[in-house]
Amino acid sequence: MRKISIVGAGRVGETAAQILAEEEYCREIALLDVREDVPEGIALDILQTAPFFEFDCAVQGSNDPRILKDSDLVIVTAGFPRKPGMSRADVLESNVRIIDEVTDHILAHAPNAMVLIVSNPVDALTYRVTQRTGWDRSRVFGQAGVLDASRMASFIAQETGFSALDITTMVLGGHGDTMVPVPRFCTINGVPISYFLTEERIDAINERTRKGGAEILALRKNSSAYDAPGAAVAAMVDAIVNNRRRLLPCVALLEGEYGEADIAMGVPCVLGEKGVESVVELDLNARERADFERSATAVRKEIEQLRSLS
């Protein structure tokens, strides 16, 4: 991949850009932000780490959307962050206007790019971008489940004392309080977590996963999480750039899978060089199905709110 652009040079965007540069996932990274001089300063700061981390990709920043020209992938982190006590849906009205403007810039300057949405509420905004562009769902997808699954894995590692490297987790549904951790598909080096944890402890981990972002926000007080979200973005970029065809939970437009259509939410996807290659439909049990449907209902409410803002 030659060029990756990040729209929104806030903490998540900056963290993602630093990791992408260190890993040399592309030859050029472009940062776009509305704040005067800020993206240029961040780009320069990242560039000056090159001798330490031994990378030589170009990093530049601008307030001019023409910097998106010829991007292979555009990562959108722009938007107002939530404050303590706010849900992700609470920032929908302010962020949809930003996303619409960003989408128009992408259409004008990077019409052949893939788009990775990180801005919240990510499910509704991913849906918005797919509708506004008219592009195939393979090209427009969101980051949520990769982050949520990582949080769940870290909690399991803390609870059991096992290495996080051996823990595989799956989180479906909307990126919010109705997300659906699926312990039945979570393992420690292939062994189901139920072998090591009681149902009560698993339920506690599920609930902590749902509140994972809010927990960090409450502790930091003046900032949402950005290290783990930036790393989650980088994991998805790695799968795309290296055509790994990884099975990752991504926000994707559903076309009948899981009995849902005309909605974007977190589901297992095969992620490779062409973006979302396919959606994998898991055989959910009755409880998991009910939780997924409840999450879909919450996402649909956000989408209906979107439509009322059009």
Consult the annotation and say whether 259 binds a ligand: no
DSSP string, 139-172: TEEE-SHHHHHHHHHHHHHHHH---GGGEE--EE
Residues taking part in catalysis: 175
Consult the annotation and say whether 76 binds a ligand: no
What's the first-to-final CA gap in the chain, in angstroms? Answer: 35
Q: How far apart are CA 88 and CA 120, in angstroms?
A: 6
Consult the annotation and say whether 108 binds a ligand: no
Consult the annotation and say whether 119 binds a ligand: yes
Consult the annotation and say whether 12 binds a ligand: yes
Consult the annotation and say whether 151 binds a ligand: yes
Evaluate whether 126 touches 264 at the Cβ level (below 8 Å). Answer: yes
Consult the annotation and say whether 120 binds a ligand: yes
Residues 6+ apart with CB under 8 A from 31: 5, 6, 9, 13, 14, 17, 39, 42, 43, 59, 60, 61, 62, 67
Structure tokens at 288: 């998991």
Consult the annotation and say whether 243 binds a ligand: no
Consult the annotation and say whether 10 binds a ligand: yes
SS3 state at 280: coil
Residue list for the binding site for substrate: 82, 88, 120, 151
Residue list for the binding site: 8-13, 33, 82, 88, 95, 118-120, 151
Residue list for the binding site for NAD(+): 8-13, 33, 95, 118-120
